[in-house]
Chain A
Amino acid sequence: MTDREPAHFATPAEVTDIVTGLVLVHRAGLRWKLAFGAAALLTALLVVAIVVLLVRGVGIWGVSMPVAWGFAIANYVWWIGIGMAGTFISAALYLTRQGWRSALNRFAEAMTVFALAVSSLFPIFHLGRPWFSYWLAPYPDRMGLWPQWRSALVWDFFAIGAYVIVSVIYFYVGLIPDLAAVRDRASSRGQQVFYGLLAIGWRGEARQWERHATLVKILAGLAVPLVFSVHSMVALDFSEGLLPGWHSTIFPPFFVAGALFSGAAMVIVLAVPLRKAYALEEFITDEHLDKLAKMMLAVGWVVTYGYAAEIFTAYVGGDPYDTALQRHRMQGAYAWLFWATIACNSLSIQALWWPRVRTSPLALVVIALLVLTGMWMERFMLIVTSLYRDFLPSSWGMFHPTVWDGAFLLGSIGLFALLFLIFVRLVPVLSIAELRRHAAERVDTRP
């Protein structure tokens, strides 16, 4: 395999020293401790909120009739979308042999796994009776009961299930050689046992490397279509409905683009502090940020096209309910949400046309945060504006979030941050094996 554009100039040994050193030698700083404390507090808030939810019911949220879905579903779609970028960067760019991805793929994959973990809380806890969520799974049942196969929620259940399984395996398989490297450098007995167990006997034999490469290729080949299927299924959760604003054929590609958009933004939000805290500028270069920014700009335009297409088709089609929906979106009670979404998702990214912005970490983080906010608002706007004014004006009504809605959103961010903070302390945040290979290839091709 020939990778283009090797990004760093460290020797293979230096790569291993630096990256394993982050796990074995580097001590937690004050900033990490503060961040960990804040994330733990928010996670505790989430736990409290879940307990209250289980005791009292989903009525603690602002969901109502007609807006029976609210923050929970918006959070779910948002988190699962964020998860997309990790798989895309590591699998799709792997298959297309984009060598620069090696500096990003490890923590992006971790981000995917954690975002999926957080996101999968919501479809369960948003149920009226979460303890029966397993009824969506097909299992032999004495009463002969099966899921209702026409429902997009069942397809979604399978799509997420498959995606979670492949993502976790892919993440772990990529980790094995690196875990072995950490094991080999570990000095304390505890670390040796811990990483030794995780490395499941990796010895770095050629045969192992060969099988590893094959498995990674297969998993990458599986992961890429799953990325598209899972977000299409999430979109079908909505477009299967007959509500104006949901019942739209553009939703699946629109959701895929939106997912990549928010995922790229989250990679930027994680990459910039990470490289600063661990001094990884050599590996995660400005060039990487530039590429991520270009990716965000490109998919941002696809998302913007989606917005325009929805409005265009509504008015070209002339369906009175569709046009009324677009009117309510742009002028109704939630118009501020629509226009804020446009401002964040379509306008703010236009700054990325300037190369200086694309290589300025601060500007990028600001824009990426705006995009993340905008994508959450977009999900929420899509859900609420279709529901709050549908067919019969008599049943129109507003959605008023409660503190518990906020607790679940903040808590989910806290849980994600907590998982990621633990990850950066325990696992090599960069792919040692791949960076070593780049270094080795560079040595080999030296004139």
Chain B
Amino acid sequence: MPPVSALDALREALPPPGSPRFWRALDELADDPARRALVAAAWPPLADLEPALDRRGFLRLLGASLAFAGLAGCSGPPPGRIVPQVGRDGRSVPHAARYATALATGGDVVGVLVELRDGRPVKLEGNPRHPASYGGSDPRMQAAVLDLWDPARSDAPRRQGAPSSWAAFEGEAAAWRRRFGERGDGLRILSGTIASPTLARQRDALLARYPGARWHVHDPAGGRPGRVWPDMSRARTIVALDADPLGAFPGHVRHARDFAEARRTADTMSRLYAIEPTPSLTGRNADHLWPAAATEIPKIAAALASALGVAVDVPGLDAFSHGRIAAMAGDLRANAGASLVLAGPYQPAVVHDLVRAMNRLLGNDKTVLRELATQSDDEPLEDLVADMHAGHVDTLVLLETNPLYTAPVFAEALRHVAHTAHLGRYRDETAEAVQWHLPALHPFETWSDLLTLDGIASIVQPVLAPLSDARSMHDVMDLLLGGVPNDARERVRSTWPQLDEEAWTSALRDGVFESTPPPVGARPAHDSLSRNPTRPDASPQEAVARRARSYMPNALELLFRPDEHLWDGRHAHNAWLQELPRPVTSLTWGNAAWISPALAAERDLRDGDAVRLEANGRHVEAPVLVVPGQATNSVTVTLGYGRRSGIAEGLGYDAYTLRDSDDTWHIGGLVLTKLDRRDMLASTQAQQDMGRRDIVRTGTPAHPPKGGSTVPSSLYPDVAHGEYRWAMSIDLNACIGCNACTIACQAENNIPVVGKEEVARGRRMHWIRVDRYHEGSPAAPLTYHQPVPCMHCEHAPCEVVCPVEATVHDSEGLNLQVYNRCVGTRFCSNNCPYKVRRFNFLQYADLASESLKAMRNPDVTVRSRGVMEKCTYCVQRIERAHIAADRDSRRIAENEVTTACQDACPTRAIVFGDLGDEASAVAKANRSTRRYVLLEELNTRPRTTYLGALRNPNPAWGES
């Protein structure tokens, strides 16, 4: 059919809509003399503009550019049908839809719900249906929203550093394909651990298409990923050997939930022993912490295995250690079948074999849900580097990996490769070094799928159209395979032929498959455990004996650990994560070398003293941090800092330079020299000793923490009770100190980041902080965590002193801050005994970046400088519930209002609700015998109250 109008004719000549090249194509049309007439007919002003830019034309362009500037932060819905979650009340709200999808965050795969406001993803929650999160969050998940809107994201392909286009790269890829021929010799792909079945399918297709190609996997921080997928809710006795199921294990959000559930009641509380060279979140929550050098752990594992009846020779241990091992073994045996021994990814295979043997012997079928392969089929980075040096590599494609930072040997090897391309969300170290940098899509912008280690599959569905001219790993794979990228949705859809349309729709809606057989080609999960359970493989005695010989008392060992938030460095560009205190150290914006209090005393070192760490002939200079619970002669360096690009540039030191391979987790022979220099560390908590003050109440099942409350009398009248009495209860027994609440609050309440210097000055803005206090000896302390949001005191000291009534009480018990009215005397903060108020000393909120405007929660004011702010109990959510309830002429239902911190908490430590409702969770919590009021003697009458923490020590455990 011939075009009926000039506009239709023009439309015919253009590529189909949805192509990112639309505007560019219009330009090209105008450039083409043959088609200029077409453009002139359809859109005369455009044709006029191009050849001669006169004054009017210029002004018109100027006006248009101003108008379009406002659109920079906008994006439409994604192509392809996506399926929202149904709202809580059975309705789906179009302007505030929630979509289920999944995220891979630093070695973990979690299901999430993305909340969209007017089409913009602004907040994220754990997917309650997804077994890896159960609705809980960890900080990395919460930070994904900022990743999406980050103004620093790479926005266009670059060739040799100069702006280029995808069309140009498509041409390049076609040339490569011609060169590959049938065999594809010299083609190498490097990626992180493959968690996407679709990518695995594409990898298999690529390797089948090009038999000469090889695929390498580089995971600098993964270690040997959890060989065991535990069920911590059923375990009564848990022994963690350098294992961190609560912090670093894949599935840790779920493990934390299970762990907290198993400890909710004093009578059936589980007991956790942590034996580790450097404190982890697990060690911080253990009932017994046993700091031991990394090289000691195999000996302890062997001794424990031997005590349990595994036939293994035990290297010599002192009587003290034997006593402890006997205590643990007795506890494990007493709870045989409901016990759990775990080994961490940083321990050698021999420890994992011993652990497997122990779990088998104890009959822990119910607590060990799944055992995973000890050997991976992935070809390691070392082979690739060797081949690159040997000249076997002709074309190298790097998929969302940054080896120029994470593998120091890589830079030199890269010079021997003729063709290189890198797909990544940032112009990072690798992007600067390769020929082609290709911007990658954020998971919220593309179709994909993800599989957890224990085989739970999720479809990753896009929730908005791409914000930049980027593509996914799958698109790049398609380019390498056969030219035109397939339809993104179809590509994923065809990975899952077993799902019919209905199952596909519900998979999209729920974010998780009902029961998932791991598809062919995904992460290999073959079982290599068909041997005698009491006789583990590979002659562990010899390995243990060898390790024992390599252990020299008083020699320093160097441990490598991923940064708790930045992981291997992949999240270093995320300012929320940078500023979120690390759970163990409370450091922000930098890393330190962790040393034990004993070593600090011996070497006369204080926090921030710079030292030179020398091992294997290489060295770094780092500030030290004295970490209670660190093994005496172990020094921990964390990966992820010392970046050479992005916002993290110049922060911290690069621990990778000391490292040999992805599998190096500790090395001996460390030489530590004190330098005559101090480095600034931005810590958020300097004091971890609560002295004799009644701050965190603790107890044991036999002597539970004292609760109850005696409200002193007051001269002021009691506050009038409105229709609701909002209150919060925080269970310190459940809190593991992960800081997910802090970052969730940051995302919900538009809390700005302030940067390293400001944090060091004590000006961080987080509305809820997690305090931690140590008890007992610094060598092996017990640690308690206490989240502190605003207490919403009924007799609030802040309200009395404000001269302009900028902080007032409402009838429902909220202590409100009126930003408009605040003049900034800061007296309220001085007078707040809980120090939960935060002041905008400078203009912290970034009012300039367009994309950050789109990220913000439209229900929450963005604060300007000079005003005080603080936790509001998420008043915007309360108001939303009020509006919904008023519309239906009903009361606000229980659990209709949840706070952001409550939603994020992986262990459900925070409950919020109406105290007036006797049946509400918060009213129930307030009737607990463990309930107490922080600083009750000040008679501030807080609405936020605490439940005391419990620890479950073994009386037979010997203290040093």
* A residues apposed to B, CB below 8 Å: 56-60, 62-69, 126-129, 132-133, 135-136, 145-148, 150-154, 157, 237, 240-243, 320, 324, 387, 390-398, 400
Contact = CB atoms under 8 A, between A and B. Distances in A.
B631 interface: no
Contacts of B830: 66, 68-69, 241, 243, 387
B827 A153 contact: yes
Contacts of B827: 69, 151, 153, 237, 241
B162 interface: no
Nearest to A395: B835
Interface residues of B, number: 56
B823 A133 contact: yes
Contact of B803 (A66, A148, A398, A400): A148
24 contacts: A62-B761, A64-B762, A66-B835, A68-B829, A68-B830, A127-B824, A127-B825, A128-B823, A135-B821, A136-B804, A136-B823, A147-B804, A147-B805, A151-B800, A157-B803, A241-B830, A243-B831, A390-B833, A391-B833, A392-B834, A393-B695, A394-B687, A395-B685, A397-B686
A394 B686 CA distance: 7
B689 interface: yes
Contacts of B773: 393-394
Nearest to A157: B803
B835 A240 contact: no
Nearest to B683: A397
B383 to A, nearest CB: 49
A248 to B, nearest CB: 14
Nearest to A136: B803
Interface in B737-796: 758, 761-764, 769, 771-773, 786, 788
B692 A320 contact: yes
Contacts of B685: 394-395
Given A64-B761, A129-B824, A394-B771, 16 more contacts: A58-B841, A59-B842, A62-B761, A65-B829, A66-B835, A68-B826, A128-B868, A151-B802, A152-B801, A154-B803, A320-B693, A390-B833, A391-B935, A392-B788, A395-B771, A400-B761
Contact of A128 (B763, B769, B805, B824): B824
A108 B785 CA distance: 58
A150 B772 CA distance: 35
B866 A68 contact: no
A153 B801 contact: yes
A242 B797 contact: yes
Nearest to A242: B797
A296 to B, nearest CB: 31
Contacts of A324: 691
B160 interface: no
A57 B867 CA distance: 11
B762 A65 contact: yes
Interface in B650-693: 685-693
Contacts of A320: 692-693
B839 interface: yes
B60 interface: no
A240 B821 CA distance: 22
B327 interface: no
B875 to A, nearest CB: 20
Contact of B691 (A59, A387, A390, A393): A393
Contacts of A394: 685, 687-688, 769, 771-773, 786, 788
B823 A132 contact: yes
Given A128-B868, A320-B692, A393-B687, A240 B805 contact: no
A57 B434 CA distance: 43
Contacts of B771: 392, 394-395
A400 B680 CA distance: 14
B833 A128 contact: no
Contacts of A129: 822-824, 865-867
Contact of A57 (B822, B831, B837, B866): B866
Contact of B822 (A56, A128, A390): A128
B376 interface: no
Contact of B687 (A136, A240, A396): A396
Contacts of B788: 392, 394
A397 B835 CA distance: 11
B938 interface: yes
Contacts of B805: 145-148
B838 interface: yes
Contacts of B687: 393-394, 396
B709 interface: no
A400 B757 CA distance: 12
Given A68-B826, A129-B822, A393 B865 contact: no
Contact of B800 (A59, A69, A150, A397): A150
Nearest to A386: B830
B843 interface: yes
Contacts of A392: 693, 695, 771, 788, 833-835, 934-935
Contact of B801 (A126, A145, A151, A395): A151
B840 interface: yes
A59 B804 contact: no
Nearest to B835: A395
A65 B763 contact: yes
A382 B867 CA distance: 25
A376 B653 CA distance: 42
Given A128-B824, A135-B823, A242 B866 contact: no
Contacts of B764: 65
A242 B831 CA distance: 6
A221 B67 CA distance: 67
B797 to A, nearest CB: 5
Interface centre among A64, A133, A157, A392 (most CB of B within 10 A): A392
A242 B833 contact: yes
B868 A147 contact: no
B682 to A, nearest CB: 12
A90 B697 CA distance: 59
A157 B825 CA distance: 13
Contacts of A145: 804-805, 821
A128 B829 contact: no
A391 B829 CA distance: 13
Contacts of B690: 393
Nearest to A56: B842
Contacts of B829: 65-66, 68
Contacts of A64: 761-763, 841
Interface centre among A148, A240, A394, A400 (most CB of B within 10 A): A394
Contact of A58 (B693, B797, B824, B838): B824
A153 B685 CA distance: 31
Nearest to B831: A241
A446 to B, nearest CB: 59
Interface string B825-867: 1110111011101111111000000000000000000000111
Q: Which 8 A-B pairs have the closest CB atoms?
A: A128-B824, A128-B866, A59-B841, A59-B842, A394-B771, A395-B835, A68-B826, A153-B803
B839 A148 contact: no
Contacts of A390: 833, 835
A391 B761 contact: no
A242 B938 contact: yes
Interface centre among A60, A243, A393 (most CB of B within 10 A): A393
Interface string B498-533: 000000000000000000000000000000000000
A318 to B, nearest CB: 13
Given A64-B763, A242-B831, A57 B800 contact: no
A67 B763 CA distance: 10
Contacts of A128: 822-826, 839-841, 865-868
A391 B763 CA distance: 18
A132 B838 CA distance: 20
Contact of A68 (B688, B821, B839, B843): B839
Contacts of A127: 823-825, 866
Nearest to A67: B762
Contacts of B826: 63, 68-69, 128
Given A69-B826, A128-B823, A391 B801 contact: no
